[in-house]
Amino acid sequence: MRPIILDNVTKDMDIYYTESFGPSVSLLTFSTEAEAIEIANDTEYGLAAAVFTENLATGLRIAKQIESGAVHINHMTVHDEPRLPHGGSKSSGFGRFGGNWGLDEFMTGKTITFSN
């Protein structure tokens, strides 16, 4: 399949809630930081997310509010670190694996990374 960019995606479209697993990206617009966080959390999934910003404090503030097992600041989610715990929230997995974190199965954690 050829990669595709879907622009102007809205809540009334199937792709808004569907995990495509294809070479695709859905573009949604927002006006405020709160609206962006609401859109990011408006899913039954929560494996990984990414926040792109020029301000680390802003990135950390947003990352802490995203309901996801990992949030990467200024880089894509495909670069997960194998030494860090990996696992999702909501319908994206059961607990964490990797390193000693498998023992912390009964806790809820979040990984936040940052790149300049």
Sketch the domain layout of the chain as residue ranges: 1-30, 43-114
Query: How many other C-beta atoms lie within 10 A of the C-beta of residue 46?
Result: 22
pTM beyond 0.75: the answer is no
Rg of the chain, C-alpha, whole Å: 15
CA-to-CA distance for 34 and 2, rounded, in angstroms? Answer: 33
- pLDDT digit string, tens, across residues 48-85: 889 999 999 999 999 999 998 889 999 876 666 666 66
- pLDDT digit string, tens, across residues 6-40: 999 999 999 998 877 888 888 999 999 999 999 99
